[in-house]
Amino acid sequence: MSARARRLLTALAAAVVASSAITACGSGAGSDGTIRFALDWSPNTNHTGLFVAQQRGWFEEAGLDVEILPYNNTAVDTIVDAGNAEFGISTHNSSTFSRASGAQTISVFAPLQKWATGIGVRADRRDITSPKDLDGKTYAGFGDPGEEKTLEQVIRNDGGTGEFTSVTLGTSAYEAVYSGQADFTVSYLAWEGIEAEHRGTPMRYFHYTDFGFPEAYAIVVDANEDWLADNPDRAAAFVTALQRGYQAAADDPDAAARDLLAANPGAFNDEQLVFESQRMLAGQYMKDADGRVGRQTLEQWAGNSGFLYRSGLLTGPDGAPLTTEPDWSTYFTNDYLDTPR
């Protein structure tokens, strides 16, 4: 069996398991016309706009039956590429890696317009006042092949060598830094950043763009490109309703947070965190200069994805490193937005 066949079978099995566990407004596995949307994690404020559109009936109003697939340890782009979901939440980096390797996925929407992560260190670390001080320190990371290259470059841009020890700890990374077992991590500012304040662990953050690193979309919505081609009207209707949900979340974060909580009863131990997180995203990350959500630019794709290419991290369908920089305009589209500009 080929590697691609094994990948498809694995993704199919994961999607079947996910579909059996979900309570959403559709049924079946898409053959009945249901549009399936795969989550990248348990419900959180990165997903608020999706749940706003669901809770307020905007998908139904558009004539769409939408099923939200819960996170199941399979990469969202793998699920979407395999045709086991039509859309899903990804990241700028993951979307780039997937499409470069031959996945039939494309970004159709950017819920967050900029990095929503930063390099996090404990505020009481007087020996770490800027990224260059991270040389020789221990990084508690997450295994993203792009994250270490990004950190190395940020440190070098600040005058350091970019040399540090890295340990992959996943979500345990935060506790490792809080307890002093590691020196720094990458924190999602609108969740772990607020959470650290709630637990009484003050943190200091270094923002990538403050040290000459290109801007990126923290998260994107990827779609199956073949499905888009076969269903242009339904695709436009879905993305328009999704955009409407995220715009509402950006314009009225408290009402949107209530929708997220109502759609996921019992999912959040700290409901105040949900409100604070949504307010932060709405105030700092969701809107472009015109106050709109969702639109993507070639400049931003070429900046961050171009860095991944120049760092030698991108491989093609054959697994070999890319030797020609991709046309980044083919990695995203604004064609399905309500008001493309």
- Residue ranges covered by each domain of the chain: 3-113+218-330, 117-211
Is-contact 33 65, C-beta < 8 A?
Answer: yes
Tell me, what's the pLDDT at 27?
33
Tell me, what's the pLDDT at 52?
98
Residue 162's contacts (CB-CB under 8 Å, 6 or more residues apart) are 135, 151, 152, 153, 155, 156
User: Is 117-211 the same fold as 3-113+218-330?
Assistant: yes
In this prediction, what percent of the chain has a pLDDT beyond 90?
88
Over residues 37-52, mean pLDDT: 97
Mean pLDDT of all residues belonging to the chain:
91
The DSSP symbol for 287 reads -
Report which of residues 19 and 149 the model is more confident about. 149
Is the pLDDT at 310 greater than 80? The verdict is yes
Is the pLDDT at 42 greater than 50? The verdict is yes
Interatomic CA distance for residues 187 and 191, integer angstroms: 8
CATH 3.40.50.720 fits 117-211, yes or no: no
Is the pLDDT at 131 greater than 80? The verdict is yes
Over residues 141-166, mean pLDDT: 95
Least confident of 4-13, 70-79, 261-270: 4-13
Is the pLDDT at 95 greater than 70? The verdict is yes
Tell me, what's the pLDDT at 32?
75
Choose the CATH number for 3-113+218-330 among 3.90.550.10, 3.30.365.10, 3.40.50.980, 3.40.190.10.
Answer: 3.40.190.10
Over residues 314-332, mean pLDDT: 98
Residue 289's contacts (CB-CB under 8 Å, 6 or more residues apart) are none
